[in-house]
Amino acid sequence: MTESRTIKMAFLGCGGIAQRHWLGIQTHAPQVQVTATIDTDPDRAAGMAEQTGGKAFSSLEAALEQSDFEAVNIMLPHHVHEEPTVRAFAAGKHVVLEKPMATSLDACDRILAAAREAGTVFMVAEQSQYGQAAVKVQELIQDGAIGEIITAEAFFGGRVGSSWGANAWRYNKAITGGGICIDGGAHWIRPLRMWLGEIDGVVAVLDHPLKEMEGESLAHAIFRFRSGKYASFMALRAGAARAPGEDFRVTGTEGILVVEKGREGRVMLYDQEHRQGLEVVSAEEKAVSAYGLELADFAQAVLEGKPLAAGPEESLGELRTALAMYRSAETHRWEKVWD
């Protein structure tokens, strides 16, 4: 734990997700000072350096030799997570690593071993853990607002936006480790785990409506939780438009919680007293930067020794669930998430 009131951080990878992290720091994590920006594209590194006030580098090695920072925020494509993470730990740095931790469980084991040896703070960034909707739904469930949970539904979907061009790295299965399930779908799996507990098994079917994408761009699955409850999961990346709908619906014996998407984006509670629905999280509240809250939590862990809302091992649940879906699509059977 450092005695300084701020934590000096290097950004490794200066693409689109780095912009979201930077905005989150500005709005919710003033304890973080970006002192180095690292990217193999010199223009991107320089552009991020100009925004943050840091110094631009073309490699982590150069930054470690020439710059002063305590933490590394790693925002690189999935298949190259292991080497720089282990390198940062070997240098005694705290690490924020964008999800998934890696594309294989063996690589995750090696990363976790390096983190334990370093003894520094390690966060696998899953911003849905900090989303206002997910947190409020968790509180309401724990308070008994909808009684005993019966089931839940999750839908992750969207159009193919400008960042999904013909050469987008997310089209490459060797880079991502799969398709929509291992990538964006993780943001919907985490809230289900927050609300219903650990996932025990899955059965899934996959399809490829987005032909340019090597991994799955459509998934239908049923999750069986250790509690004995079930939830449905659908993920879709295709098409040119996105319509309003629901991200989540959690049904209990005393009511229903709906997390809306689209223009309104509220969280609504429906029960005997509120048949037309009660807004429990507004669109404005729901839009609060989860990236900023996530990095503020990381900063508190480094500066104050406060435990993270979710340790790095928690992210294995999303990865294992995605890998189980991939196995199920091949075997046409229920697959266990945990050995």
Task: Quote the CA–CA distance of 209 and 207 in Å, as a whole number.
Answer: 6
pLDDT tens profile 228-262: 999 999 999 987 777 778 999 999 999 999 999 87
Domains and CATH numbers, the chain: 7-125 (3.40.50.720), 129-288+319-336 (3.30.360.10)
CB 124 within 8 A of CB 73: no
Residue 186 has pLDDT above 60, yes or no: yes
pLDDT tens profile 89-100: 999 999 999 999
Report the 10 Å Cβ neighbour count for 17: 17
CB 9 within 8 A of CB 34: yes
What does the angle CA 291 – CA 251 – CA 275 come to, to the nearest 5 degrees? 100
Report the phi/psi class of residue 108: left, alpha or beta, with left for phi > 0 and alpha for psi in -120 to 50: alpha
Q: Across the beta sheet with 71-74, what order do the strands follow?
A: 55-57, 32-38, 7-12, 71-74, 94-98, 122-125
CB 338 within 8 A of CB 317: no
pTM: 0.94
Least Cα distance to 201 among 185, 223, 181 occurs for: 223
- pLDDT confidence band for 2 (50 / 70 / 90): very low
Residue 3 has pLDDT above 80, yes or no: no
Which of the 8 DSSP states describes residue 185? T
